[in-house]
Amino acid sequence: MNLSYWEYKTWLSNIDFTIVGSGIVGLNCALHLKKQYPKAKILVLERGQFPQGASTKNAGFACFGSVSEVLSDLKNHPEEEVRQLVLKRWEGIQLLRENLGDKPMEYQNHCGGHEVFLKEQADLYEDCLDNLDRVNTLLRPVFGTDAFLVHPNTFNFNGVQKNYVTNPFEGQINTGKMMKSLLAKVQNSGVTILNAIGVDSYQENIDHVVVKTEQFEFKTNKLFVATNGFASQLIGETVKPARAQVLITKPIENLSIKGTFHLDEGYYYFRNIDNRILLGGGRNLDFKGEETTSFGETSLIQNRLENILQTVILPNTPFEIDLRWSGIMGIGNHKKPIVKQLANNVFCGVRMGGMGIAIGSLVGRELANLLN
């Protein structure tokens, strides 16, 4: 497609910074660059009509790790590293709240987060209870008090151990509202966002980068790549795509379940929203098949999600499924995101794992700060 003089001149000339990807990381990077360089011309390019990766698809848990996850991390990482991981997530959530405010994204943490253990997971359950003090002591410098408490099964889940492990600091947000207000904040700051523009490749020169999109080419002084699960398509970093499938019920009258819930070592997660249950997970049923950048739902995983709703979460309540969808995460062997300079004028902030709500704001800021 040939662009007009006006299109080039107005949108694509004298670009200081270009960011690829308008997820939570790309938008936070843009916001922070604008704060530091108010006169800079900043462009965000997004392949989807919406941000089309994970940031508008997720479950909206403002979480920092369940007790079983912390214990599993402690098996492979030094204590200090595990504490720093949790601290980073906790600080990231505070930064997100500071940036957007609680109300616009419906942030709330009065229901807490709960890890629920299936009947057949007696060993894991006992192990978590036995190690609760150890984990609480480890994380006391982060939260100032015990982060994990034993709580009875008050929501009448079926086929589960009699107690949950509850984290009163865990919160939930309305993902759609969070992204809408983040997009508005970025646009109001004077950053241009162009949707439906996929970046195919780039070419680094001494003092600029040529960006080649599916439709046109242009020059930018610096390029920031925030494409998470799609990163290996554009840069050589080892980020594996990981599709995550979700469903949501229609509204359920007198739904008493409130909070965020982790089940089966975090392979499943569910929460209340608008009198509905949102439930996701099941990647462990087909890791290989879900290692894809293609959106889509499979009957294997969707059937299991429905089965969990029927047998564990809502055993005595009729429900109907309203919507099913998927999103693409970026994962790797290590839980730390990759935030680094790739070339003189090219930087990346990718591999958020399942924690982008918690760490996305911080990583976006770190990515922008690579310029200093």
Ligand X SMILES: Cc1cc2nc3c(=O)[nH]c(=O)nc-3n(C[C@H](O)[C@H](O)[C@H](O)COP(=O)(O)OP(=O)(O)OC[C@H]3O[C@@H](n4cnc5c(N)ncnc54)[C@H](O)[C@@H]3O)c2cc1C
What residues make contact with ligand X under the rule CB under 6 A? 20-26, 45-48, 51-55, 57-61, 63, 198-199, 226-230, 233-234, 244, 246, 280, 327, 329, 352, 354-358, 360
Nearest CB to ligand X, comparing residues 104 and 198: 198
For the record, the structure tokens of 186 come out as 């970025």
CA dist., res. 356 & res. 55, Å (int): 8
Cβ 190 to ligand X, closest distance in Å? 21
How far CA 26 is from CA of 73, 124, 201, 227, 253, in Å, comes to 28, 38, 17, 8, 39
Cβ 44 to ligand X, closest distance in Å? 9
Residue nearest to ligand X (CB): 53
Cβ 24 to ligand X, closest distance in Å? 4
* Sign of the alpha-carbon torsion through 314, 315, 317, 318: positive
Cβ 318 to ligand X, closest distance in Å? 25
Nearest CB to ligand X, comparing residues 12 and 234: 234
For the record, the structure tokens of 309 come out as 């709703």
CA 129 from centroid of its chain's CA atoms = 28
**Computed over its alpha carbons, how large is the radius of gyration of the chain?**
21
β pairing state of 61-62 and 149-152: unpaired
CA dist., res. 237 & res. 227, Å (int): 11
- Beta-carbon-side half-sphere exposure of residue 264 (alpha carbons within 13 Å): 18
Cβ 164 to ligand X, closest distance in Å? 18
Q: Apex CA 126: angle with CA 122 and CA 127, to 5°?
A: 115
Nearest CB to ligand X, comparing residues 46 and 69: 46
Q: Which amino acid is at 128?
A: C
- Beta-carbon-side half-sphere exposure of residue 126 (alpha carbons within 13 Å): 5
CA dist., res. 321 & res. 325, Å (int): 12
Cβ 31 to ligand X, closest distance in Å? 12
Nearest CB to ligand X, comparing residues 130 and 200: 200
Cβ 136 to ligand X, closest distance in Å? 22
Cβ 241 to ligand X, closest distance in Å? 10
Closest CA to 362 of 92, 70, 101: 92
* Sign of the alpha-carbon torsion through 61, 66, 68, 69: positive
Cβ 253 to ligand X, closest distance in Å? 26
CA dist., res. 220 & res. 19, Å (int): 10
90 sits in which H/E element = helix 79-100
* Sign of the alpha-carbon torsion through 90, 121, 321, 303: positive
For the record, the structure tokens of 122 come out as 């007696």
Cβ 308 to ligand X, closest distance in Å? 15
Nearest CB to ligand X, comparing residues 189 and 293: 293
